[in-house]
Structure 1
Amino acid sequence: MAGQVAAAAARRALLLVVLLAAVFAAVEALPGDAATAASERGESEADLAARRHLMGLDRPLWERFRDWMTTLPTGDLGVSARGEKVTDLLADPLPNTLLLGTTAFVLTVVLSLALGCWAAARPGRLTDRIIGHAATASFAVPEFVISVLLLLLLSLWTGWLPAVTVTGADGAPATWTMLIMPVLALVIPQTGWNTRIVRGALADQASTPHVEAAVLDGLPTRQVLLRHALPGAVPAIATGIATSTGMLLGGAVVVETLFNYPGIGTVLAGAVATRDTVLIAGVVMSAGAVISLVLLAADLIRARVLGARA
C-alpha cells in the first residue's frame, strides 16, 4: 500500500509540474506582457524595456520557470508583477474559494448518491427516466448559464437573494445567503454528472453474482442496493466525484466573477488581464494541489476496494 501511495503521489506531482509549465508557456503566448499591461499612455519603448528588465521578463521563459519551481517546495509562490507576495494575495481569497468549493462538493456527493440510488431502485420506471433525463440536461448546461438563470429567478424577479456578494471586515461573504446562488450554480451541473455515474455504477453491479444472489434470496430492494451493490460501485463513484473537484474549482472561476464572490476566480481573472504569469501560476498551483490531493484519495480508495476484493 505504501508503494502504491508513493507511486500515485509521484504521478500527481508530475502532472502538476507539467500543468504549471503549460501555464507559463500559455501566458507567454498571449499578446502583450505584464510590463505592457502596467504601462501608461505615452511611454517610450525604452521605458517598456526598462520595466521588462526590472520584472525579469527579458530573461528566457525556462529560466523564469526554473527559478519559480525552485522556491516552490518552501511554500514560496513568488512575487506578482506588482511586487506583492502571491501567498499574501491568496491568503484571503483561497479560503473563500475552499468554502465555496467544499460546500458545493458535499452537496454534490449527497445529492448524486441520493438521486442515483433512487433511480437504481426503480430501474426502467418513470422515476428512473425522469432522473436520468434531468441529470443529463443539468450537466449539459454551463455554469454561467445556470448562474444567469439563478440571478434572474432568485434575485431580479423575486428579490429573495442578493445579486452580488458583499464582503465583511474579514474579507469573507457578509452573510451565508450570499453563498446560496454560487453554490447552486456549481452543484446543479456536477450533481447531474455524478448522478449518471452513480446510476451507471449501480447498474453494472446489478449483474454481478453476489447482487443477483441477494435478489434471489428475496432481500428488500433497499438492502440489496445499499449493502450489496453500493460497496462494489464505490471505486467508480469515487473516481467520478474526484473528477468533479477539478470541475468545481474550474467552474468557480466563472461563478465567482458573475457573483462578485471574493475568491481566487476573481484573482485569476485579474491576473490574466494583466498577464501576471507568477500570480496565475500561484492560483493554478493552489487549485491544482487541492485537486491532486482529492484525486490521490480517490486512487487510494479504489486501490483499497479492489485489493479487498482480490
Structure 2
Amino acid sequence: MIPFARLLVRRLALLIVLLATVFVVVDLLPGNTARAVLGRDATPNQIAAKERELGLDHPLPQRFWDWISAVLTGDFGHTARGRSINELLVDKFPPTLLLGGLALTLTVVASLLLGLWWAGRRVAPEVPITSLIRQGAVRLLQPTTTIAAAIPEFVVATLLILVFALAAGWLPAVTITDRSGFPASPDMLVLPVLALAIPQIGWNTRVVRAAMVDAAQAPHVESAVLDGISTRAVLLRHVLPFALPTIVASFATTVGMVLGGSLVVETIFNYPGLGALLAGSVADRDVSLIASVVALSGAVIMCMLAVADGIRAWSLRGRG
C-alpha cells in the first residue's frame, strides 16, 4: 500500500508540474487574452479593465495558485468569456469519453486477438499452416502493424475521409449532433473511432506478440507444448498470465494516447467534444480552460494507470 501511495503522490506532483507548465507556455504565446475576447476594436482602457476583471494583472505564480486552489475544491472557474468551465466540461467531456472508450475497446480487442494469433505461430511452430491465406496474413502482420503504429491519427483520419467518405460515400465525414450533444447517428462514430484505434492497434499488437513470445520461453510452456496441449490452451493458460503485466502497461499508456489523439481527430471530424473546446481556448489564450482540459484528461489517465497497477499486482501475485 505504501509504494502505491508514493506512486500516486508522484503522479499527482507530475500533473501539477504539467499544469504549471501549461500556464507558463500559454503566457508566452503571442497575443492578448483580453483583446481576443473583446475584439480588434477594443480600446486600451477596455483591454486594461478586462485584464483586471480576469486577474491578468496579477503575477503568473499567483494566478496559478488561485486557480489550482479553486480546482482542489472542485471549482474550475470561468472562461475568459464568462462561461462556467464546470458546465462546459460536463457538456463536452461525455462525447469525448464515448469516442475514446470505443477506440480503446476496439484497440484492446483487436490487438489481443491479432497478437495472440500472431504469437501462436511462434509458441507452437510445429502446428502446420496449410492455408496460403494464413501464411500471407502472418507475413503481412509485421509491416502492416509497423506502418499503422507510425502513422499519426490526423493522417489516418484524412485517408479514411478520402476513401470512405469522399470516394466511396459510405460514411459521413462530418459529425452532426442531436439535442443531447452526441452524434445524431452511430455511423458518424465509425471514422473517428477508426482514426484513433488504427495506430494504437498497430502498436499494441506488436507489444502483445512480443510479450507472449517472451513469456513462452518459460520451461513450463515448453512442457505444455510437448504434452500435446492445444495451442489455444497453451496461450491462454500458460503464456498469457505471464505476459499480462506488460500488456496491461501498454494498454494503460494507450489511454493517454487515445485521449491526446481524440483532441485532434475531433477537430477534423467536427466532433462535439473537448477538441473543439480546446481549439477555441487556445485561440483566446484562455489558460484556465486549457489547464482544466489538461487536468481532467490527466485525472482520467491517472485512474486508468491505477487500474493497470492493480491488474499487474494481481497478475504478479505469488511470484518471487
Q: TM-score range by the shorter chain?
A: over 0.9
- 1:30-109 alignment runs, 5 A limit: 30-109=29-108
How far residue 38 of structure 1 moved from its aligned partner, in angstroms, is: 1.6
Using the size of structure 1 for normalisation, the TM-score is 0.96
Using the size of structure 2 for normalisation, the TM-score is 0.93
Coordinate RMSD, CA, aligned: 1.4
Return 206-215 or 161-170, whichever deviates more.
206-215
Which residue pairs with 2:131 in the alignment?
none
Counterpart amino acid of residue 239 in structure 1: A
Which residue pairs with 1:179 in the alignment?
189
Counterpart amino acid of residue 50 in structure 2: R
Counterpart amino acid of residue 20 in structure 2: A
- 1:155-234 alignment runs, 5 A limit: 155-234=165-244
How far residue 166 of structure 1 moved from its aligned partner, in angstroms, is: 0.4
Return 152-161 or 39-48, whichever deviates more.
39-48
Counterpart amino acid of residue 251 in structure 1: G
Q: What does the per-residue CA deviation read over 1:137-165, in whole Å, with 9 as the maximum and x for residues that have no partner?
A: 10111111111111111111121111100
State how far apart, in whole Å, the 2-side matches of 1:250 and 1:276 are: 19
State how far apart, in whole Å, the 2-side matches of 1:196 and 1:290 are: 25
Report if the CA contact (8 A) 1:186-1:248 is conserved. yes
Report if the CA contact (8 A) 1:161-1:178 is conserved. yes
Which residue pairs with 2:273 in the alignment?
263
Counterpart amino acid of residue 114 in structure 1: L
State how far apart, in whole Å, the 1-side matches of 2:136 and 2:256 are: 32
Percent of aligned pairs with the same residue?
52
State how far apart, in whole Å, the 2-side matches of 1:258 and 1:199 are: 32
Which residue pairs with 1:136 in the alignment?
146
State how far apart, in whole Å, the 1-side matches of 2:200 and 2:272 are: 22
Q: What does the per-residue CA deviation read over 1:219-248, in whole Å, with 9 as the maximum and x for residues that have no partner?
A: 221111111111100000000001000110
State how far apart, in whole Å, the 1-side matches of 2:145 and 2:26 are: 36
Q: What does the per-residue CA deviation read over 1:165-185, in whole Å, with 9 as the maximum and x for residues that have no partner?
A: 000011111111110000000
Q: What does the per-residue CA deviation read over 1:94-147, in whole Å, with 9 as the maximum and x for residues that have no partner?
A: 000000000111110000000001100113865433212111110111111111
Counterpart amino acid of residue 302 in structure 2: S
How far residue 213 of structure 1 moved from its aligned partner, in angstroms, is: 2.0
Which residue pairs with 1:284 in the alignment?
294
Counterpart amino acid of residue 197 in structure 1: V
Which residue pairs with 1:309 in the alignment?
319
Structure 2 unmatched runs, 5+: 126-134
State how far apart, in whole Å, the 2-side matches of 1:294 and 1:74 are: 22
Matched, 1:10 2:17: no
Report if the CA contact (8 A) 2:35-2:42 is conserved. no
Return 240-249 or 204-213, whichever deviates more.
204-213
Which residue pairs with 1:25 in the alignment?
24
Greater RCO (Cα-Cα under 8 Å, separation 6 or more): 1
Counterpart amino acid of residue 186 in structure 1: L
Which residue pairs with 1:115 in the alignment?
114
Q: SS of the counterpart of 2:316?
A: helix
How far residue 44 of structure 1 moved from its aligned partner, in angstroms, is: 3.2
Structure 1 unmatched runs, 5+: none
State how far apart, in whole Å, the 1-side matches of 2:318 and 2:8 are: 21
Report if the CA contact (8 A) 1:135-1:192 is conserved. yes
Report if the CA contact (8 A) 1:8-1:299 is conserved. no
Counterpart amino acid of residue 85 in structure 1: S
Alignment: residue pair count: 309
State how far apart, in whole Å, the 1-side matches of 2:317 and 2:3 are: 11
Q: What does the per-residue CA deviation read over 1:249-296, in whole Å, with 9 as the maximum and x for residues that have no partner?
A: 110011000000000011011111110000001111111111111111
State how far apart, in whole Å, the 2-side matches of 1:129 and 1:118 are: 13
Which residue pairs with 1:275 in the alignment?
285
Matched, 1:252 2:262: yes
